[in-house]
A and B are shown apart, each in its own frame.
Chain A
Amino acid sequence: MTDTELDAVYTRLCKTMTELGEPRATLFLARFALLAIDRLGDAHAAQRLIDSAAEGLAPAATDKALP
């Protein structure tokens, strides 16, 4: 994939999410993740990607503290 192709895919993703609207964005990204995992066809790689994507995000504890 060239940089220009990556740009195009990125922009398509952003635009699609915008068209669907914010309330559906999370479900859209979940569906995209599932399709990407399926296409990847490699359980270990998928596990590692899940860890990488979670790394550095604020811990869930803060959210749990909310009422």
Chain B
Amino acid sequence: MTYEFAPYPFEAQRHAAKLPALRAGLEERRHPVVVVGGGPVGYTTALGLASHGVPVVVIEADDSVCSGSRAICISRRSLEIADRLGALPGFLDIGLPWTGGRSFYRDTEVLHFTMPQDENQKLPPMVNLAQYSIEQILLDKAETQPDLIDIRWQTRVTGVEARDDGVRLALATPEGDYSLQADWVVAADGGRSFLREALGLKLEGTSYEGRYVIVDILLDSDRPTERLAYFDPACNPGSTVLVHKQPGNVWRIDYQLRDGEDPDAAIQPENVMPRVESLLAMMGEKGSWKPIWSGIYKANALTLPSYRAGRVLFAGDAAHLVPIFGVRGANSGIDDADNLAWKLAFVVKGLASSALLDSYSVERVAAARENLSYGTKSTEFMAPPSFGFELMRTAVLGLAKKHPSLSSLINPRQTSAITYATSPLNAAAERSAEFPAGPVPGAVLPECPLTVADGSGTREGHLTDLLGPHFTALYFSEDGAVPAELESLDRALAARQVPFELASLTRRLGASSPHGWDHTGRLFPMYGAQPGTLYLVRPDGHVLGRWRQASAAEALAAIDHALQPPVKGV
């Protein structure tokens, strides 16, 4: 029997290779930063660098954005990052927002989970969209900045020479081969990273044997967007099946292969289609459907021990492979990119010593380990690696309906923003300890609605709207009056050319100067703030330090400690 496949509801534009101006096979221009890999991580890094005014070359081996079923869920934290990069509208226009999911054991619902969502949020906890759309949205944004972002399609890295003073890459294109020189290289070249192999770096951790088949189908259904998990379902006894709705009537189905099944045979249409058919019948989906794509997945929980190798910085799947359960792959890579971009920009601009890049590695390796611990837990539940995990899972699934407190063990632990609790950049721990509430140094900002008043009028907004490619001082006051001490902080940082914005947050609607008014009265208590409180926030939205009573000198010291700026003019 043959099966008719449908195309994805997306047509990828093809891009030609092009050669830069060369001299004896070497590109004439030397670049401050080259990003290898035009995926979600590479583009996010490029957009981040560009937001700081740093030009970047992106090297991509293919001639288009990706195809097939890869990342499908984008988290609130990733959306916040996209928002700062000016790429949010595409995600919200195309993506399907969702807040929770259901898990079934045979025919019984054993878990209904929801992700944190309340009236303070600007963004949904998760949106579903295909990776080709994620890449296209970021690419569209990158293409609006051709003076800063130079994308080189159909260009493959074939060699790397990493020196103390720079990196030389050998590149192959259909138009011919050449080399280029860069001060810094970002390796965002994916799970099979050429740069990682070429530099002899090894991922550490666990590879799991359990395999999943991934199938995308086209199906017209008005079922709501939520994560559906079926354990030991009637349609596929002994297996686990996941179902996610995507834009354009695409449905992503992941199902576990049983022990002993041959993976090559398992992805043949004659083996895939009957299982999809019986799943849809079990779900009560009666509409006609067509397969689009299928592939196989094996869970890995691996990371490099360090993401900095001299002048080469690793990000995303090139740096770590996290299991798909919990959707931490693309989302953690986007977080890597956001962390790295500002630090690299500051180093390139001479505003920080290269030690700042070591903090990238420290913070993101710690984040990867946290992601891996949750991802490992989810994987051990979704694809039990031994009889012990299998037996215990059967026990949990059988008990969870009557004993709901056990159902937390079924929860997929979806990705959430990570706190850099042990970051070397975190400042003034004793001052932070004086707060009754609010984000600690290393944490991201909890969202809160605000009324933004700029003298000419007011509009509705949110706290994270105040962030940008700069350090942000959030100063809490009664009516927006800023003490002279903080004005001097502003001047001191301006003199050093450190990008900095002072944002005033008030209890009352003030008269003229720009400020954010806490019209709900929720912001001050959420942040443990009183008039005079100061939060210092990094360009990636993580708190650097906080003071119940602002101290400009300590705030300046915190920024100096973070940047360890090179001594100038001696």
List residues of chain A with CB under 8 Å of any chain B CB.
3, 6-7, 10-11, 13-18, 22, 25, 52-53, 55-57
Is B403 close to A, CB under 8 A? yes
- Which residues of A are found within 8 Å of B409, using beta-carbon distances? 6-7, 10
Give the residue of B388, B402, B408 whose beta carbon is less than 8 angstroms from that of A14: B388
A11 in contact with B387 given A3-B411, A6-B409, A56-B398 (CB within 8 Å): no
CA distance in complex: A25, B390 (Å): 12
- Which residues of B are found within 8 Å of A25, using beta-carbon distances? 387-388, 391
Give the residue of A6, A13, A52 whose beta carbon is less than 8 angstroms from that of B408: A6
- Which residues of B are found within 8 Å of A56, using beta-carbon distances? 398
Q: Offer 11 A-B interface pairs, CB within 8 angstroms, sorted by A.
A: A3-B411, A6-B409, A7-B413, A11-B377, A13-B388, A13-B392, A14-B380, A17-B387, A17-B388, A25-B391, A52-B399
Give the residue of A3, A7, A16, A17 whose beta carbon is less than 8 angstroms from that of B391: A17
Pairwise interchain contact A14-B398, C-beta atoms closer than 8 A: no
B:343-377 near A, CB below 8 Å = 377
Pairwise interchain contact B387-A22, C-beta atoms closer than 8 A: yes
CA distance in complex: A18, B393 (Å): 13
Is B389 close to A, CB under 8 A? yes
Give the residue of B389, B396, B402, B413 whose beta carbon is less than 8 angstroms from that of A18: B389
Main secondary structure of the interface of B (DSSP, over half): helix
Give the residue of B377, B387, B403 whose beta carbon is less than 8 angstroms from that of A7: B377
B376 to chain A: closest residue by CB: A11
Pairwise interchain contact A14-B403, C-beta atoms closer than 8 A: no
CA distance in complex: A7, B411 (Å): 10
CA distance in complex: A18, B385 (Å): 9
List residues of chain B with CB under 8 Å of any chain A CB.
377, 380, 384-389, 391-392, 396, 398-399, 402-403, 408-409, 411, 413
Q: Choose among A6, A14, A56 the residue with the greatest number of B CB atoms under 10 Å from its CB.
A: A14
- Which residues of B are found within 8 Å of A17, using beta-carbon distances? 387-388, 391-392
CA distance in complex: A15, B385 (Å): 10
- Give, as a whole number of angstroms, the nearest-CB distance from A24 to chain B: 11
- Which residues of B are found within 8 Å of A22, using beta-carbon distances? 387
- Give, as a whole number of angstroms, the nearest-CB distance from A30 to chain B: 14
Pairwise interchain contact A18-B380, C-beta atoms closer than 8 A: no
- Which residues of A are found within 8 Å of B388, using beta-carbon distances? 13-18, 25
CA distance in complex: A14, B395 (Å): 12
Q: 9 closest Cβ contacts across the A-B interface? A: A17-B388, A18-B388, A18-B386, A14-B388, A14-B389, A3-B408, A14-B392, A22-B387, A7-B377
Pairwise interchain contact A52-B380, C-beta atoms closer than 8 A: no
CA distance in complex: A18, B388 (Å): 5
A17 to chain B: closest residue by CB: B388
Give the residue of B385, B392, B399 whose beta carbon is less than 8 angstroms from that of A10: B392
Pairwise interchain contact B402-A52, C-beta atoms closer than 8 A: yes
- Which residues of A are found within 8 Å of B413, using beta-carbon distances? 7
Query: Given A14-B388, A17-B387, 9 more contacts at CB 8 Å?
Result: A10-B392, A17-B388, A17-B391, A18-B385, A18-B388, A18-B389, A22-B387, A53-B399, A57-B398
CA distance in complex: A3, B380 (Å): 16
Pairwise interchain contact A18-B377, C-beta atoms closer than 8 A: no
B403 to chain A: closest residue by CB: A52
- Give, as a whole number of angstroms, the nearest-CB distance from A11 to chain B: 6
- Give, as a whole number of angstroms, the nearest-CB distance from B112 to chain A: 15
CA distance in complex: A13, B380 (Å): 12
A55 to chain B: closest residue by CB: B402
- Which residues of A are found within 8 Å of B398, using beta-carbon distances? 56-57
Q: Choose among B386, B388, B402, B408 the residue with the greatest number of A CB atoms under 10 Å from its CB.
A: B388
- Give, as a whole number of angstroms, the nearest-CB distance from B370 to chain A: 11
- Give, as a whole number of angstroms, the nearest-CB distance from A18 to chain B: 4
- Which residues of B are found within 8 Å of A6, using beta-carbon distances? 408-409
A14 in contact with B386 given A7-B377, A56-B398 (CB within 8 Å): yes
B395 to chain A: closest residue by CB: A53
Q: Choose among B402, B403, B408 the residue with the greatest number of A CB atoms under 10 Å from its CB.
A: B408
- Which residues of B are found within 8 Å of A57, using beta-carbon distances? 398
CA distance in complex: A39, B436 (Å): 37
B389 to chain A: closest residue by CB: A14
- Which residues of B are found within 8 Å of A11, using beta-carbon distances? 377, 380
CA distance in complex: A22, B392 (Å): 13
- Which residues of A are found within 8 Å of B408, using beta-carbon distances? 3, 6-7
